[in-house]
Structure 1
Amino acid sequence: MNDKKTLKSIEIQNLSKTFKIDGGNFNVLNNISLSVNQGEFLSIVGSSGCGKSTLLRMIVGLDRNYSGNILSYGESIKGPRVDRGMIFQEARLFPWLTVEKNIAFGLSRRVSNSEKKELVHKQLELVGLTSFAKAYPDQLSGGMKQRISIARALINKPKLLLLDEPFGALDAMTRINMQQEILKIWEKENTTMILVTHDIDEAIYLGDRVIVLSSRPGTIKKIVPVELSRPRDRSGYDFTCIKSKIYDEFFTKVENPFSYNI
């Protein structure tokens, strides 16, 4: 039997995805092969429609209709599991449940009431919603709703956390705070995280590597390592050089405002 400590968290092998629309084939992803180490923070960027979110749905097990293979710790992914959490672009909450009950939803029945209460309280503190524990989703702003989604995804302490533009609905300061909190969790729990984002700054600030996907059909155009110490200085020269490399992958025919001789 293989020792899971030696296995990759995720291995994607020759993955392609095609949708059938009006009788025709719509190729979204083409021949993606990628390994993600246990405990790695991977960022994925690419233009709209290149298959970034589709890729996350396949990794979490929500979509099994593809060619190729996806392994999690050496085993083919057959469907969703609690050790693979996902945070979507929009909050997906139950409007009839309070904030604390939305966060608690999905916890194992084996968790005692006292333990459940403690876990929910910690998550409420993490996302800054302790005062809104008894509120309902329709009483909250869009950013607050998304913070509930983040707390709910983290409460089971998944081995792999997939983040599909999770901070897009948050204001600038809350977004930065949540990025820092996600990093604290990542460092403490050794959770493998895969982030899809349109924000290149965010991708560099959080990621150990940045995967640049081509326009549809999405293929891996470039893998950019982010060999910067943490916490990272977004205004620093090295950060800006990495940003320039990624920016060049999208804009090759116009002047790059972040261009440096690198």
Structure 2
Amino acid sequence: MNKQENCNAIEIKNLNKNFKLDGGNLNVLEDINLSVKKGEFLSIVGASGCGKSTLLRIIVGLDKDYSGAIFSYGKPVNGPGIDRGMVFQEARLFPWLTVEKNVEFGISEKMSSEEKRELVYKQLELVELTGFARSYPNQLSGGMKQRISIARALINKPKLLLLDEPFGALDAMTRINMQQEILKIWEKENTTMILVTHDIDEAIYLGDRVVVLSKRPGKIKKIIHVNLTRPRDRGNYDFTQIKSEIYDEFFTKVDNPFSCSM
């Protein structure tokens, strides 16, 4: 058996992150220790400016200025790699390229035109957008643009997909639809996913576990296991109990989330 198959998808050990600011240091993340299992859907919640998105950037390899260690399937993370994909808050599509060319842009290996086309259309089928392959981004809705971003992030078959508030700019109904779509992809592809969100309902609906970060510097206050069957009912008593448990971590006398301004 391959040694990597016995490893967790992500191991974070004693992670600390500071930003240099006005001649001093701003402590953003402090003593983060976290394991993410292969195939797990992990949600991370916390107040704005408390290091959630920074943590994703470090995991994907875009930020290497930190102390501590991160391992992806047993290998140290020293920079970006095709084993880790990321979907940002904005779709970040190229407006001058068609949908299929936007998705094709993410292919890292040298392939023939026919091989690329076949791979692109498999991804478009996965996100149910094959009929829009020749369209341009300005002809798509917000939800469709994000589905294209997801297709592009998944085209190299990453073992880990990082989601940085990907549905934050969408209206309520589109957001719910996108949550259901990402679950379908997760179940079909068995890709490990880590989601950063401000939406506690979303965190519970999608996550196997919810990591609650404190105000800056971000520390892990609590990890809550979501032992609910799927598909989940947001009005279910157990769902609302988990929601209350997470709210209790935010709204305490000593830890006001609104005191975090960056």
Task: Provide TM-score, normalisation by structure 1.
Answer: 0.90
Alignment of 1:15-34 (within 5 A): 15-34=15-34
Find the aligned partners of 2:188 and 2:148 in 1 and give their Cα distance. Answer: 21
For residue 149 of structure 1, report the CA deviation from its aligned partner. Answer: 1.1
SS in 2 for 1:218: coil
User: Which residue is 1:173 aligned to?
Assistant: 173
User: Which residue is 2:258 aligned to?
Assistant: none
User: Which residue is 1:258 aligned to?
Assistant: none
Contact 1:146 1:169 survives alignment (8 Å)? no
Alignment of 1:223-238 (within 5 A): 223-238=223-238
User: Which residue is 1:243 aligned to?
Assistant: 243
Alignment of 1:1-262 (within 5 A): 3-253=3-253
SS in 2 for 1:53: helix
For residue 19 of structure 1, report the CA deviation from its aligned partner. Answer: 0.3
**Unpaired segments ≥5 residues, structure 2:** 254-262
Find the aligned partners of 1:173 and 1:110 in 2 and give their Cα distance. Answer: 39
Contact 2:99 2:135 survives alignment (8 Å)? yes
AA of the residue aligned to 1:238: D
For residue 118 of structure 1, report the CA deviation from its aligned partner. Answer: 2.9
Q: Which moved more, 1:194-203 or 1:96-105?
A: 96-105
Find the aligned partners of 2:143 and 2:189 in 1 and give their Cα distance. Answer: 25
Find the aligned partners of 1:208 and 1:14 in 2 and give their Cα distance. Answer: 23
Find the aligned partners of 1:119 and 1:169 in 2 and give their Cα distance. Answer: 29
Task: Provide TM-score, normalisation by structure 2.
Answer: 0.90
Find the aligned partners of 2:122 and 2:59 in 1 and give their Cα distance. Answer: 28
Count of residues in correspondence between the two structures: 253
Find the aligned partners of 1:231 and 1:142 in 2 and give their Cα distance. Answer: 24
User: How much is the aligned-residue C-alpha RMSD, in angstroms?
Assistant: 1.8
Find the aligned partners of 2:104 and 2:95 in 1 and give their Cα distance. Answer: 14
For residue 2 of structure 1, report the CA deviation from its aligned partner. Answer: 6.9
AA of the residue aligned to 2:50: C
AA of the residue aligned to 2:121: H
User: Which residue is 1:256 aligned to?
Assistant: none
The Cα offsets for residues 57-83 of structure 1, whole Å up to 9 and x where unpaired, read as 000000000010111111110110111
